[in-house]
């Protein structure tokens, strides 16, 4: 296949993307993937210094990058962020809802505050970001791409960690994705989700050890037909594909990137 064919299928030059939760972990990889394919990328989270470093790195791909400090739970901050991105990079063509939290605690004594935090960040903020950006996409009339970062736990329970709020909200994000795909298909907006299994990040690292806990890793590997955790770079193709012209007829899909976790 020629470079021209590849560009035609997967090229994102001239597109503007917003990736939430891009100050660490998977969000950085999603931003890198979109930048590699040629999109200008706004990276949003609360830790501005981290975002500034990420943005510098994205610029090495020859694209424009904009760090935006905002809390996804604050609708006013998201409104302002979307406006800032519009004024600086242009209207958003691709939204990746990646910001997330995974509060841990046994269900029977899970503090309501932790439950609420999972709901606020993992679900309500995904909806409000979709609403803010989706409204602009609808008004502009040129379609768009929304990619929600769910989890394999959107479709099954977590037998390794006690994360009741996380599992509940990821299940909701998976079905929110399908609902928006149906409602916004008429506007040419595709809405899909990526459902990763376990990738080492701040979220999955034991803060006391500074790495993934061995016993948890062994259990995760046991549940994974490919027998290992996800590695850096293994989500790049999924985000580029769903954002690209190649996926123009793909909507309402949940793309598992999970070493086969959901296959059995």
Ligand X SMILES: NC(=O)c1ccc[n+]([C@@H]2O[C@H](COP(=O)([O-])OP(=O)(O)OC[C@H]3O[C@@H](n4cnc5c(N)ncnc54)[C@H](OP(=O)(O)O)[C@@H]3O)[C@@H](O)[C@H]2O)c1
Show contacts with ligand X in window 154-183 (CB under 6 A).
none
Piece of the chain touching ligand X by CB under 6 A; list 88-96, 97-105, 106-114, 183-191: 97-105
Maximum separation of any 2 CA atoms in the chain, in Å: 57
Active-site residue identified among 166, 199, 241, 261: 166
As a whole number of angstroms, the distance between CA 102 and CA 54 comes to 23
Query: Is residue 249 annotated as part of the catalytic site, yes or no?
Result: no
As a whole number of angstroms, the distance between CA 28 and CA 235 comes to 11
Site string for ligand X, 189-228 (x = CB under 6 A): -------x-xx-xxxx------------------------
Say whether residue 71 binds ligand X (CB under 6 A). Answer: yes
CA 16 to chain centre: 15
As a whole number of angstroms, the distance between CA 33 and CA 29 comes to 6
Closest residue to ligand X, judged by C-beta, is: 25
What does DSSP assign to residue 206? B
Give the one residue of 46, 178, 213, 219 binding ligand X; rule: CB under 6 A: 46
Say whether residue 121 binds ligand X (CB under 6 A). Answer: yes
Half-sphere exposure of 123 (CA within 13 A, CB side): 19
SS3 state at 21: coil
As a whole number of angstroms, the distance between CA 200 and CA 193 comes to 20
Residue with smaller CB distance to ligand X, 11 or 243: 243
Where do contacts with ligand X occur on this chain (CB under 6 A)? 20-27, 45-47, 71-73, 98-101, 121, 149, 151, 196, 198-199, 201-204
Catalytic residue numbers, as ranges: 166
């Amino acid at each position: 296949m020629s470079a021209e064919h590849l560009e035609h299928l997967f090229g994102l030059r001239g597109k503007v993307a917003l990736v939430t939760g891009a100050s660490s972990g998977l969000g950085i990889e999603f931003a890198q993937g979109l930048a590699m394919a040629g999109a200008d990328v706004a990276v949003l989270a609360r830790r501005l210094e981290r975002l500034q470093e990420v943005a510098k790195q994205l610029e090495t791909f020859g694209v424009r990058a904009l760090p935006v400090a905002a809390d996804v739970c604050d609708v006013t901050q998201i409104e302002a962020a979307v406006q800032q991105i519009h004024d600086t990079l242009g209207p958003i063509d691709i939204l990746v809802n990646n910001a997330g939290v995974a509060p841990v605690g046994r269900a029977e004594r899970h503090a309501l505050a932790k439950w609420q935090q999972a709901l606020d960040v993992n679900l309500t903020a995904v909806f409000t970001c979709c609403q803010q950006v989706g409204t602009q996409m609808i008004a502009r009339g040129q379609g768009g791409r929304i990619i929600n970062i769910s989890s394999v736990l959107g479709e099954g329970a977590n037998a390794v960690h006690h994360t009741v709020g996380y599992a509940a909200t990821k299940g909701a994000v998976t079905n929110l994705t399908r609902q928006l795909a149906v409602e916004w298909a008429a506007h040419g907006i595709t809405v899909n989700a990526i459902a990763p299994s376990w990738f080492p990040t701040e979220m999955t690292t034991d803060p006391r050890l500074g790495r993934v806990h061995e016993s948890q890793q062994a259990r995760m590997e046991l549940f994974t037909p490919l027998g290992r955790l996800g590695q850096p770079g293994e989500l790049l193709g999924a985000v580029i594909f769903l954002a690209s012209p190649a996926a123009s007829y793909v909507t309402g899909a949940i793309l598992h990137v999970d070493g086969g976790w959901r296959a059995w």
